A and B are shown apart, each in its own frame.
Chain A
Amino acid sequence: MAILIDDTTRLVVQGLTGREGSFHAKRNRDYGTNLVAGVTPGKGGTDVDGTPVFDTVAEAVAETGADTSMVFVPARFAADAVLEAHDAGCDTIICITENIPAMDMARTVSHIRHSRRGVLIGPNCPGVISPGKANVGIIPGEICEPGPIGLVSRSGTLVYQIVNELTQKGLGQSTCVGIGGDPIPGSDFIDILEKFEADAQTEAVVLVGEIGGDAEERAAAWARENMTKPVIAYIAGRTAPPGKRMGHAGAIVSGSKGTAAAKTDALEAAGIRVGRNPTEVAEIVAEIRA
């Protein structure tokens, strides 16, 4: 098991012929991901290191049976690329691209949710890895180990930091999911917690949040009612000054809402232990598993 991607995944990469797209697609393939196609309009019929390139996602799906798309195209074309993948029947779409206008994502996410089909992860995210099975995105595979811990994070580099701490403590991962730091994410914490709760491999979940918004608070309330598996959390931005936007469009504290303290209180009230730093998060997981 694992969630979202595994060894049956058939991956198409939109933007495969670009510099970043080809670099990371190759790393994903070398990790063992079943990369079956690339899409770049106008470059159909060519190939990248043996992977066939198509003009449209529909053709790529028809020819190769791709079921998962990774979007690596520039921001101004990215929402269109996500819609194209959804239209072509890819039911898992992982969008790495950052700086997509919120208006574009608002329409795109609304459309996907109305369709009641498919999952969008991201945008502005590091992707998803199911260690030992498949890696779709930019998470360094070498720091991950297969195991029973699920991880879901708004921040990319904090995925790496915390996975690294977990692996060093011998705590392998079922799947690590970066949901991204945008105001309108395709999937939020609850969507992913629900999948981890249903996944046989996952025995505990680490939730990595940050200041701004109320996604962590809502996740805490949901977990209290619906999760039987233990959840351990971390919140970045305890000491961030109010009113400053810390990089992620979502990470801004205005008024009393969205602070690390408020989130920590909400999580702890739901019985979720919160580590003060990434190292302590791994220590708590180890303690719970002992």
Chain B
Amino acid sequence: MNLFEYQGKELLRRFEVPVPEGRVARSPEEARDAARYLGGKVVVKAQVQVGARGKQGGVELVDSPDEAAAATERILDVEFMEQNAFALVQRRSRGAQLTPEDEERISKAAPIKATRVLVERAGDIADEYYCAFLVDRSNRAFLGMMSAQGGMDIEKVAEDDPSAIARVHIDPLLGISDFHARRLVFGARINPDAVKGAVAIIPKLYRAFVEMDASQIEINPLVLTGDGKVVALDAKVTLDDSAAFRHPIFDELKAAHEVPEQERLAKEKGLNFIKLEGNVGIIGNGAGLVMSTLDVVNAAGGEPANFLDVGGGASADILSAGLEVITSNPEVRSVFVNIFGGITRCDLVAEGILDALGRLEVKVPLVVRLDGTNAEQGRKMLADAPHPMLRTANTMLGAAELAVELSRAGI
């Protein structure tokens, strides 16, 4: 789960990481009150999870409560784009010729709107840094990173000048020691005035990272203020959903996130669903097999409408619910059910398919491919219950081709 900035800062505050004083507002009126309470100059920041938020008009610095209200009105109206699409728009505005695929990606990018702003007291910024902790898969350890080039796209910094980023691995069993913080701070060659504050903040960030079961905490920028304090001006925190059982607050944090209707429905039913832009509905078991299914459908000239993994040991109910979620998307022209049973039993899969066909008004063809545990039994159940919308195939590639062909045939 990726937290909004205001949520991330609330968590950091609990670990005594200095963050600017601020209040969340859902309307211009609330923003006016917040600005009045804070007094003086404030910054109004859209609470959205997109890159280049500032460049897209999501951050404004204002002098008065009335201006804060006006800025909030503008910001809540902005249609943000996801970072990749926005990067393409920027390239185009600089005169670059985009490919038809890139143009299509821009036109298909769904607009994202903020429902909240964070109103914060604005301060002088003397210098900006970057600091992060994350789970490093390559080393099976934790990785701390720091750079004097804060406020910039860190992936670009990493590409242009890798030496500008100090890195230190931390053994999860040992935990952080002060030398780790010193290696980051001195390694990043930050302003000497900020050294003491940064060395103090780093162990606090690490504690927040470990104790909150985060998979990543990124502070960009970490700033040195005019009066010599080191403060986290932004916070990108990703929490590990698997640890929700020991953090009651995760549910509360999650409630602030709006998920598209179809994804919410899927989640309720325990399905792993991601909406895509095409018209071939996909259901499979296991993330790897479903990704591979998307690939073969693409290779056959089709466009997947979604990613849907029913997981291991899926029951008939789950299969049936999955079909319901997929066929509720009006774009879908055909559905490819690709199951290789291990822990999942193909007879239960067949039962779920038959249940969905009986229960729902399925208007698009289903192409079903069953292999693995109890496949014979499952195939026989489908053969014994013919349905005009039901087709079967023996191989994954054959099924992909058939599903793509049917998606083109129209209804």
Complexed CA–CA distance, A138 and B340 (Å): 12
Complexed CA–CA distance, A66 and B294 (Å): 42
Question: Which segment of B16-24, B282-290, B377-385 sits at the interface?
Answer: B282-290
Q: Which residue of A lies closest to B51 (CB)?
A: A243
Mask, B119-159, CB within 8 Å of A = 1, is: 00000000000000001011011100000000000010000
Query: Which B326-343 residues sit within 8 Å CB-CB of chain A?
Result: 340-343
Indicate if the CB atoms of A101 and B295 lie closer than 8 Å. Answer: no
Q: Which residue of B lies closest to A19 (CB)?
A: B313
Q: CB of B27 within 8 A of chain A?
A: no
Chain B residues positioned under 8 Å from A143 (CB to CB): 371-372
Q: CB of B56 within 8 A of chain A?
A: no
Distance between B400 CB and nearest chain A CB, rounded to angstroms: 9
Chain A residues positioned under 8 Å from B317 (CB to CB): none
Complexed CA–CA distance, A214 and B272 (Å): 24
What class of interface size applies to chain A in its complex with B? 35 or more
Indicate if the CB atoms of B171 and A110 lie closer than 8 Å. Answer: yes
Query: Which B341-371 residues sit within 8 Å CB-CB of chain A?
Result: 341-343, 371
Candidate in B135, B290, B292, B307 with the most chain A CB atoms within 10 angstroms: B292
Complexed CA–CA distance, A109 and B138 (Å): 13
Query: Which B266-316 residues sit within 8 Å CB-CB of chain A?
Result: 272, 274, 276, 284-292, 294-296, 298-299, 304, 307, 309, 312-313
Indicate if the CB atoms of A24 and B215 lie closer than 8 Å. Answer: no
Distance between B301 CB and nearest chain A CB, rounded to angstroms: 12
Q: CB of A156 within 8 A of chain B?
A: yes
Indicate if the CB atoms of B342 and A236 lie closer than 8 Å. Answer: no
Chain B binding surface SS class = mixed
Q: CB of B205 within 8 A of chain A?
A: no
Chain B residues positioned under 8 Å from A138 (CB to CB): 312, 342-343
Contact for A157 among B82, B240, B285, B295, CB less than 8 A = B285
Candidate in A98, A157, A234, A279 with the most chain B CB atoms within 10 angstroms: A157
Extra inter-chain contacts (19) besides given A155-B286, A157-B284, A239-B304, CB under 8 Å: A20-B343, A98-B312, A101-B213, A110-B141, A153-B288, A155-B291, A157-B289, A157-B340, A158-B288, A160-B341, A161-B396, A164-B340, A184-B137, A234-B292, A236-B288, A239-B294, A243-B82, A277-B296, A278-B292
| Chain A residues proximal to chain B, CB less than 8 Å | 20, 24, 75-76, 98-103, 106-107, 109-111, 113-114, 126, 138-140, 143, 153-158, 160-161, 164, 181, 183-185, 188, 208, 210-211, 213-215, 218, 234, 236-251, 254-256, 276-279
| Chain B residues proximal to chain A, CB less than 8 Å | 82-84, 135, 137-138, 140-142, 155, 171-173, 210, 213, 215, 240-243, 245-246, 272, 274, 276, 284-292, 294-296, 298-299, 304, 307, 309, 312-313, 340-343, 371-373, 395-397
